Structure 1
Amino acid sequence: MARVLITGASDGLGLAAARSLIADGHAVTAHVRSERRADEVSDRLAGAEAVITGDLADRQETVDVARQANLLGRFDAVIHNAGIGSNEPKKITTRDGNAHVLAINALAPFLLTALIERPKRLVYVTSGMHLQGTADVRDMNWETRPWDAEQAYADSKLVMITLAFAVARIWPDVFANAMEPGWVPTKMAGYNAPDDLSLGHVTQVWLAVGGDPRAAVTGRYFYHQQEQEPLPLAHDERFQDEVLKAMEALTSVVLPR
């Protein structure tokens, strides 16, 4: 039995992954955004070991999510599943002054990675849209560039996959990998999305607890349990260091080396 934390587990792929893990006998802690969602997920996820709450758009609440997680003891795996899409026509700024899509899709996984006791496995749920990312580390927060919602989303997912690869390099004792679920019909992606929702969570679970030797790797990128080639920039160690430095500046938290 493995102990697994899943962010964004109240619906969609996170809920599906949590149900699959519970059905297989694993101990799941579900993260949700609010107390109201905690009540909802308690009904949807009978058998969950625990539910923790916090809005990942908010820095202090994200720090508190890490605190709640650490009080429960070390996890075997953390699945960074929570995310938002590219449907913000105007830049939304969080209370901390960060672009909303950056805060949830990239800064929150960074904070949780840095602050939660190091697990054996880390899974980062990204998107094929990262291939269109540029992630200008001089203006990661879109403070000087004209806002482009689709580009901001692509950039946030490139930052996330770059984080996964940087962690794999810096923490060689951890299996840190990224995966994309495909364009599946969830609330975030839209219910007309063409990919198979029933397969979207499978790779998350496989990377988190699977005994397949193909999952016992680090610094890789997967789609439906098959290794894929990411944007080469994500493997560039200098770029990884620049991304970490930028996120450390935006969050005032340093990733332990």
Structure 2
Amino acid sequence: MRVFITGSTDGLGRAAARTLLRQGHEVVLHARSGERASTLADLVPRAAGVAVGDLASRAQTWHIARQVNAIGTMDAIIHNAGVYARPGRDTTPEGHAGTLAVNTLAPYMLTALMARPRRLIYLSSGLHRQGEGPLDDIDWQERRWDPSRAYAESKLYVVALALFLARRWPGVISSAVDPGWVRTRMGGPGAPVGIDTGQRTQSWLAVSTDPEAHISGRYWHHMKPEPPAAQATDHAFQDALLARLRELTGVALP
């Protein structure tokens, strides 16, 4: 299986890459910059390629899609990259631009621009249940900036995207994953979940022959399906969200 993993220079993305490479799969890595790509030196000799670009930038997200498409069609894509709030940008509306762009807009754009794989996996968070709300200001142009709310909303949107795709593309297995509060750079050293546990579900979904892994439209937590926020399952909400994502990015989903 050939798998592309966004945000694979550290944390859960790197752990998933190592797991899949150890199992003998082809893995295409991703780094935000050339400098970050240098941290992949130990994995690159075994990898099928490395895409470089900042997912906070629409232009660079387009470039990432072109790089991966040039390698070939992926069997699975793990949309792993995510941010809570970028340092120095988390007290202004521009900070939310980074949160929304990386956590929601980039997965949407890559899904629309890349050759369609057989499996799509989107990393969310249990905090998505705190993100329920209206769609008329998802880019925080009117509201007072709230980093925790912005993060929760972005993770709600990515669950809704995964569930929308499960019904839009019946030939694709589309899943959302809550890895838990994991001991990564984002989660911090006090997080209760180890990195191996945190990466296990998405790695399994990407390549497993288990019939359970072939059921589309599920929200997973530690290898078990769970009910997501009700709003994420609402078809009207999903449709309205996808229309808004198309408007914000200028990219239409096939």
Equivalent positions of 1:205-224 (< 5 A) are 205-224=203-222
Cα displacement (A) at 1:49: 1.2
Q: Secondary structure at the match of 1:37?
A: helix
Give the letter aligned to residue 243 of structure 2.
K
Q: 1:22-76: per-residue Cα shift (whole Å, max 9, x none)?
A: 0000000001101111122123454111111000000000011001111111000
Following the alignment from structure 1 to structure 2, what is the Cα–Cα distance between the partners of residues 33 and 219?
A: 29
2:117 aligned with 1:116: no
Contact 1:13 1:201 in 2 (8 A): yes
Equivalent positions of 1:148-187 (< 5 A) are 148-187=146-185
2:12 aligned with 1:13: yes
- 1:247 corresponds to: 245
TM-score for both structures, normalised by structure 2: 0.96
Equivalent positions of 1:14-163 (< 5 A) are 14-86=13-85, 89-91=90-92, 93=94, 99-163=97-161
Q: 1:61-107: per-residue Cα shift (whole Å, max 9, x none)?
A: 0011001111111000000000002576413527xxx7110000000
Give the letter aligned to residue 180 of structure 2.
G
Cα displacement (A) at 1:190: 1.5
Give the letter aligned to residue 90 of structure 1.
T
TM-score for both structures, normalised by structure 1: 0.95
Following the alignment from structure 1 to structure 2, what is the Cα–Cα distance between the partners of residues 231 and 17?
A: 26
Following the alignment from structure 2 to structure 1, what is the Cα–Cα distance between the partners of residues 141 and 238?
A: 21
Contact 2:120 2:174 in 1 (8 A): yes
- 1:196 corresponds to: 194
Aligned-CA RMSD value: 1.3
Q: How many corresponding residue pairs?
A: 252
Assess, with a 3 A threshold, how the Cα gap between structure 1 residues 14 and 48 changes in structure 2: closer, same or farther: same
Q: Secondary structure at the match of 2:238?
A: helix
Contact 2:93 2:145 in 1 (8 A): no
Cα displacement (A) at 1:18: 0.2
Cα displacement (A) at 1:236: 0.6
Give the letter aligned to residue 108 of structure 2.
F
Q: 1:155-190: per-residue Cα shift (whole Å, max 9, x none)?
A: 000000000011111000000000011101101122
Following the alignment from structure 1 to structure 2, what is the Cα–Cα distance between the partners of residues 31 and 92?
A: 27
Percentage of matched positions with identical amino acids:
47
Assess, with a 3 A threshold, how the Cα gap between structure 1 residues 222 and 18 changes in structure 2: closer, same or farther: same
In the TM superposition, structure 1's runs of 4+ consecutive aligned residues that sit over 3 Å from their partners are: 86-89
Contact 1:106 1:156 in 2 (8 A): yes
83-92 or 129-138, which deviates more: 83-92
Following the alignment from structure 2 to structure 1, what is the Cα–Cα distance between the partners of residues 19 and 93?
A: 34
